[in-house]
Structure 1
């Protein structure tokens, strides 16, 4: 392989648009600086080229995400994600309040059971409300606290049981402050992006999902009778009434996303990719037998994840999100979507 071929191979790491504009010029400069008879590039040249490729890709990503369509999608995603995490945390306190109102023997429940769920629900509800009122900076700052809360919850479960079954809320939570920070310079508030009927649908979805266990309780449908075990409702062991209401709530959330204009909808679906990948890995992949994702156990206690499994959990959502964004960019370049 000649020196020029090696340089072209290194320049292949740069974005295509950058190569079209600068490749021949860069190769000419590099060959002019090379010593007579030189067969291999110098280490400093390799380092400079690879570093330049990384910077070029970062600038390209920044340029893509700086467009108004991504900022609109980011604030809509931040609102919906905050509401979903609010639903997940608020269902337990609301259920115990219903039990208290119905004079159940267990009353309102033990404080150590209620306060973590109540704290999480309060944090994510504030984030959602601040997002609606276009207080993006404050919402992003509070969301950072919400991320820490979700990390602690998952870390405690992993410390006791080595389980990562519910690690998806951490991924979803971690994306919220990033999305809200990106949306700080959005051209219009989230209320204008979604319109009134979609905001009303989000409110209805939240109320239906949060109130699902309470409605099942008040309707005298015992949540322990005919339990449904399924990862598709993000919980397990719930009664049929509660499962139906949860599904209805999720469908309303999905309706809001799928009813948005094409450019916004495609970006929202791309933003969901990391959470979807995490769900598949933790609820399907880590149960697969005969692969490096297989979980081992001793005396019915799961062993800790290996470094390869942790690497997969961390890198796979990031890589597939990047792939989704690249596919979206290519689709829009080949045929611009009409908003």
Structure 2
């Protein structure tokens, strides 16, 4: 009875290993483990437990890593990395334009003091990342993207404690930079994003973020401000866009919607396996946005982060990506099995 109980518990530990590994080696491993067991032993020893669980987790990580080298994942990573770099370039260009082009309706006292070297470096850096990805230098693109992530840690990281509101306001760009760096690190053929997208989609991916930036800048320059001398009517759209006339405001909304729709349509017309993986790659951004909206430390405030908020900001995006990857794999596996079943039905002999 003790031998049967010990065997059952060993098999439970071996369940940590991938199914392919268990199919080949489970019986042999169980036989060796039972042969080495002490007389009357009913439970696996601590060393055996640690060894079996550790080896199983390592094997599962290796299998998972091989899955991310599939063509659909590499294609999606190439497109996602390029898209993230272009969006960061547009955001950097927007911040630079805010500092270089003053709003004529704002009093001089409230005008920006001008661009600093960091503003120019952000634009140049993400432009270099996009150019390197487009011209077939994936390692250079990935290295520059990781340098951008490191720059955030150097320039903004210390402010997490003394300026938490400012750090919270930069979290979307940090998350986008992490997505760009991680996606561009996935090994892919040179200029793979160009091949997957094609000329038309590539033009849309490049122009849509810049068009959105232009709309925001026009709204800023043509809108009104509380610093104006004299009352001026202001029309605002959810705090994002503003204009002095309702017609102009809706033109801005239409321009922004057109840029977003063009980008979505371009991505939606990609092959389904690539499209679904791009969504998985971008899912951490959506999750982080939801987490940030629920935090008590808002942009502009000096309320420190709670430990639970920090943990949630780190774990929730990672969990969203892993869950999305698992769902995509299971969905495709179910479709593959269903297709095999339909093929078998068609080949079944009829009387």
Bin of the TM-score, shorter chain as denominator length: 0.7 to 0.9
Contact 1:86 1:124 in 2 (8 A): yes
1:65 aligns with 2:65: no
Query: Which residue matches 1:302?
Result: 303
Query: Which residue matches 1:317?
Result: 317
Contact 1:150 1:169 in 2 (8 A): no
- Cα deviations across residues 21-76 of structure 1 (Å, max 9, x unaligned)? 33333222211211111122122111111111121111111210111221111111
4+ runs of 1 displaced by more than 6 Å? 102-105
- 1:1-339 correspondence to structure 2 within 5 Å: 2-99=5-102, 106=108, 109-111=112-114, 113-152=115-154, 154-155=156-157, 158-163=160-165, 164-183=168-187, 185-186=188-189, 189-216=192-219, 220-222=222-224, 225-229=234-238, 236=240, 240=249, 244-284=254-294, 286=295, 295=296, 301-306=302-307, 308-336=308-336
Match of 2:43, SS? coil
Contact 1:134 1:190 in 2 (8 A): no
| 1:92–1:245 Cα change, 3 Å | farther
RMSD of aligned alpha carbons: 3.0
Contact 2:241 2:252 in 1 (8 A): no
Deviates more, 1:272-281 or 1:73-82: 272-281
Contact 1:216 1:223 in 2 (8 A): no
- Offset of residue 17 of structure 1: 3.1
Query: Which residue matches 2:229?
Result: none
- Offset of residue 165 of structure 1: 4.6
Match of 1:331, SS? helix
Which runs of 5 or more residues in structure 2 are unaligned?
Answer: 227-233, 244-248, 340-351
- Offset of residue 309 of structure 1: 2.7
Contact 2:92 2:119 in 1 (8 A): yes
Contact 2:125 2:144 in 1 (8 A): yes
Match of 1:321, SS? helix
Max radius of gyration: which structure?
2
Which runs of 5 or more residues in structure 1 are unaligned?
Answer: 231-235, 287-294
Contact 1:217 1:223 in 2 (8 A): no
Question: How many angstroms apart in 2 are the aligned matches of 1:209 and 1:160?
Answer: 32
- Cα deviations across residues 159-217 of structure 1 (Å, max 9, x unaligned)? 3442335413222212222221213x337622111001101111220321221233335
| 1:259–1:104 Cα change, 3 Å | same
Contact 2:149 2:177 in 1 (8 A): yes
Contact 2:135 2:191 in 1 (8 A): no
| 1:169–1:255 Cα change, 3 Å | same
Number of residue pairs the alignment of both structures matches: 317
| 1:84–1:332 Cα change, 3 Å | same
